Chain A
């Protein structure tokens, strides 16, 4: 009798002591996040329901900021532009990254040099990259000259509303896919070769080896790349600021650009609402992705 009662208690206490180290290990991260991230985010949450200019007391307006946003054509355009940017960027970037990783995984000489070359854009600040590309994409810049050699007519890439967004996206992909390359390359190198040997013994072609050995082994890496990548791409700002300032005709206006615009106008309530809309979108997407990818992790 007393045993039956004592057992659960002991088990609980034992379990408690067992998980204590885990909590201790994550405690610095949790505390730091609370103080430097969650408190500010909470403030913004509160402000998103108010009209607030930073100086006078916030004035409660309920959901008005949100309803205004969802009927604001400029914000909706920003949302659309951002979605296009993310789809293009995350559709192409990881693919390029994987392809480069596969290339670099071959036993080629000068691998160190090539790796550095691919990663160089990632190491350079976004502002510098954007500034450089702004010059290159100029009407009279190198890009148009080179395209002319191949017979493609010169175009005002950043000045034409129909090509501006794509041009900025290309710049971002150029700058960022080195990151995916490096991450995929490492993952590729950690796939045990016996798996490939076994596949070869079974008579698998190169494509089949890729499809049935490489890709599944890369699953967790792909998950990481997409989750982080989507969170990051949705918040694109620096390139827009440098290259196009959201134009021409709002064709490159993105969500964070819209947010900063409102922030600079001292409309902190509206800016916070934009941030929270973004948060809801990203949280939903990440949640879905984590379910999808990490089910079998």
Chain B
């Protein structure tokens, strides 16, 4: 983050002189909670380096000793991990890309345009969030079977089978609508006066301003799609099409799990997200303030 002077103009920060005692208290609170936040995740990370016998050692070892890469090797030899990874990347990228575009478009309409039935339609979309996904499993699967009969490129056991139901998410529309409402109407009005169509406005005015917010949407959507288990597990049969969470589940059998490889599989699966977040977290936070920033 930049110097205090530059940031004050961006928005409110109580960056002025804090009494030393308060500063210390704030840091202490932040550090303690951070430890609480990271701790359990650290345990997964540490366990992924423990040899099989040590996984359940009591008292639990904080630092793996001895440590081994065997669990990571196992993940790659026991499962076609690279294949799962690629599948996850393809499917998740498609879902994220489609959502960012279409959710924002719809959100723009709901946030900034007036049309009959606006509130009702939005509420109808919101309703779809209120039904647990399990109930949709069977009908949705049947639709996929149908699609597969129409074309072998669609439906069951294809990328489209995973991507299509998730390509537009109401949560995303809600999120974007929330931020787009704070864009000053004047900007849009002046564009309209200049003769721009709504599509033009979306492309040339909204997208640029909302880019950071769209990055936020991208991260949330990525999270959901990357970790999704239930639907991909049902719609995909072939091992070659599986995504990471579904593939990793193969390490379990009945009530027992191979803890070591499961931990390392988890670390490998979570790593991309954490990396992306670390890289983008600045934009991510900034992004949530889309448009509201002074002119």
Contact = CB atoms under 8 A, between A and B. Distances in A.
Interface in A248-272: 256, 259-260, 263, 268, 271-272
A113 to B, nearest CB: 8
B123 A290 contact: yes
B138 A282 contact: no
B126 interface: yes
Interface string B254-295: 000000000000100110011001100110111111001110
Which of B44, B118, B135 has the most chain A CB atoms inside 10 A of its CB?
Answer: B135
The interface residues of chain A, by DSSP majority, are classed as helix
A116 B41 contact: no
Nearest first, the 8 A-B pairs at minimum CB distance are: A186-B288, A21-B198, A107-B15, A40-B139, A40-B136, A190-B289, A282-B130, A117-B34
Contact of A112 (B10, B164, B281): B281
Contact of B34 (A114, A135, A136, A196): A114
B108 interface: yes
Contacts, number: 264
A152 interface: no
Nearest to A297: B181
Interface size range of chain B in the complex? 35 or more
A44 B135 contact: yes
A221 B42 CA distance: 32
Contacts of A120: 37-38, 41, 274
B8 A193 contact: yes
Contacts of A187: 288-289
A174 interface: yes
Contacts of A259: 132, 134-135
Contact of B281 (A43, A116, A188, A268): A116
A117 B182 contact: no
Interface string A105-129: 1111001111111111111111111
Interface stretch (B75-83, B148-156, B165-173): B165-173
Contacts of A132: 40-41, 43-44
A278 B164 CA distance: 26
Contacts of A192: 11-12, 294
The interface residues of chain B, by DSSP majority, are classed as helix
B85 to A, nearest CB: 16
B285 A19 contact: no
Contacts of A140: 58-59
Which of B36, B37, B105, B277 has the most chain A CB atoms inside 10 A of its CB?
Answer: B37
Interface stretch (B66-74, B86-94, B109-117): B109-117
Interface string A125-146: 1111100110110001110010
B184 interface: no
Interface residues of A, number: 96
B106 A28 contact: yes
Given A117-B38, A190-B182, A260 B12 contact: no
A262 B1 CA distance: 52
A259 B123 CA distance: 24
Contacts of B124: 33
B207 interface: no
Given A237-B132, A290-B123, A123 B277 contact: yes
A7 B13 CA distance: 54
Contact of B106 (A29, A36, A124, A193): A29
Contacts of B23: 108
Nearest to A119: B277
Contacts of A114: 30, 34
Interface string A22-36: 111110111011011
B139 A43 contact: yes
B4 to A, nearest CB: 6
B233 interface: no
B18 A106 contact: yes
